[in-house]
Amino acid sequence: MRLLSTAVGVFVLGVVSSWSSARAAWPVVINGPLNGSDALRGVATLPSGDVVISGVIEQVDPADIFVARLAADTGAEVWRRVIDGTNHNRDAGEQVTIDGAENVYVVGTPVNNPGFTDLGIIKLNGATGETLWQSNWSGPANNGASYDGGYVVRVDGNGDVLAVGWMQRDVPGYAVDWLAIKLRGSDGQGVWSRQISSPGAYDYARAMAVDASGNLFISGQFNALNRFDFTVAKLAAATGVVQWQKSLNDGTWYSTVNDVVADNAGDVIATGTMGSNGETFTTVKFDGATGATRWKKALGFGRGDGVALDALGDVIAVGSAQMAQNVSAFTVVKYASADGAQRWIQQDPGTPAIENNLGDSALRVTVDGHGDVLVAGILDARFTVRKLAGGTGAQRWSYRIGTLGTAYGVPYRIAVDSNGHPTAVGYVDLQTGTEDDIVAVRLNGATGIPFGLGCQ
């Protein structure tokens, strides 16, 4: 693998929006000029309550990385950047994070080589949106003309930048590996990179957690021979050397991890899908030092999509689990940290007439300072955010975009600020002929009502 480039400055283009900051209100809905498939895939909150969002917006070339800062109370744009790869092709932004100085880091998949993609990380000034540096990574396949990309970005306690994604393997045909990299936060120069291969061909690292010592836990899709395994690897903070790698499989053809989180003891919890009788919503706690399984819990047919911890280290996993034949539910479950004992579970199958319930799923989760649980997902085909009591799972409030049958939406990420106010981002189709539009909504944590001029 190689560092393709580290540069200050990228192409920044204007974009036409269907939403005007002069009459801003949450939820913010933005339609790109092509009326195409626009979406947000990352969100981070600043101490002021302002929100930074990232994703993809379709334009004439035909899609670019989208990053913006939105004002806390109104959703008005403080700044916006649309970042185009040098090949002017289908670029995509994924997750976003901030450091202690409120600088912004975005990871994604820019197209800098005709027809091929890189793993790209961009650092922006949080106050102005000015590009401070951009680092592009290209694999060895085809002399750098390869398919590579990034999913997750984090900043460690030293201000260095960590990212994971995938990199094309230098073999005949198409095969990709997990890729993890560490960069200096000051200038984007590489500290180390690590490529992890399976016996198969299709490995995509889609999840990462960082412990208090800066060690990485990475996971995602891992292609063992004739199957995919539920796999987590630990990498050393200083060198990226693999400390351990553990794979689980209960006999199913397809197992995968969709999210991971590290606790204060340095252990790691992963959620995804696994099971000998079909895909099962599975959550596993691994010993951080050895990778040994501490406990494993499975619900019904379905999958785990997101995982978070409360202040006591108890585990909240969210996803989709079947309640009855062809009835899949928006599912949130809380497990005890020590042994995985189930503290409570909440499931909502939605309205029976809507897509036979098979689309209902809680997708992402976070926990506020009071230990209450904030969940974003799909219910009755709509973009849904809910707040549950941390102690019992009782619903405090629920917010949805659109009315039944008039809007479809998917929230990809949710974050909560220090005052307990959540922001969820993703896309909505409001059935207005613009296909999928960018959407971000900041809600009052106490009431579930959007800030500004928005309403439920």
pLDDT score at 63:
84
- pLDDT at residue 122 tops 60: yes
Residue 225, phi-psi category: left (phi > 0), alpha (psi -120 to 50), beta (remainder): beta
**Residue 65: CB atoms within 10 Å:** 25
Residue 50 falls in which region: left (phi positive, over 0), alpha (psi -120 to 50) or beta: beta
Residue-level pLDDT at 10 = 26
Structure tokens at 443: 């809600």
Q: What is the structure's pLDDT at 144?
A: 64
Residue 138: strand pairing partners: 2
- Band (115; pLDDT cuts 50, 70, 90): low
Q: Tell me how far apart the alpha carbons of residues 140 and 169 are, in angstroms, rounded to a whole number.
A: 7
Evaluate if residue 190 carries a pLDDT over 50: yes
Domains defined for the chain, CATH in brackets = 198-400 (2.130.10.10)
Strand partners, 423: 415, 442
At residue 13, the pLDDT reads 23
Mean pLDDT for the stretch of residues 358-380: 94
Q: Are 307 and 339 in contact (CB under 8 A)?
A: no
Arithmetic mean of pLDDT over the chain: 88
Whether residue 184 is predicted with pLDDT greater than 50 in this model: the reply is yes
Residue 195: which pLDDT band, with cuts at 50, 70 and 90? very high
Most confident of 12-21, 37-46, 57-66, 165-174: 37-46
For residues 41 and 57, give the distance between their C-alpha atoms in angstroms, rounded to a whole number. 11
What is the rounded CA–CA span in Å between residue 205 and residue 39?
21
pLDDT tens by residue, 309-345 = 999 999 999 999 988 777 889 999 999 999 999 999 9
- E strand spans, 125-253: 131-138, 149-155, 161-168, 176-183, 190-196, 204-210, 216-224, 227-235, 242-248
- pTM score, two decimals? 0.91
Give the neighbor-by-neighbor strand order of the sheet with 161-168.
149-155, 161-168, 176-183, 190-196
In angstroms, the CA 295 to CA 248 distance is: 12
Closest CA to 40 of 14, 73, 65: 65
How many angstroms from the chain centroid is the CA of residue 289? 26
Question: Is the pLDDT confidence value at 114 over 90?
Answer: no
pLDDT > 90 fraction of the chain, expressed in percent and rounded: 68
- For 213-225, write each residue's pLDDT tens digit: 999 999 999 998 7
Q: Specify which residues 124 forms β-bridges with.
A: 104, 131
- Contact present, 402 and 455 (Cβ < 8 Å): no
63 in Cβ contact with 44 (< 8 Å):
no
What's the sign of the alpha-carbon dihedral 151, 152, 153, 156?
A: negative
Placement of tokens 């396949």 in the chain: 141
> Pick from 114, 3, 23, 75: which is nearest to 423 by CA?
75
How far from 262 is each of 92, 96, 183, 269, CA to CA, in Å?
Answer: 27, 19, 21, 6
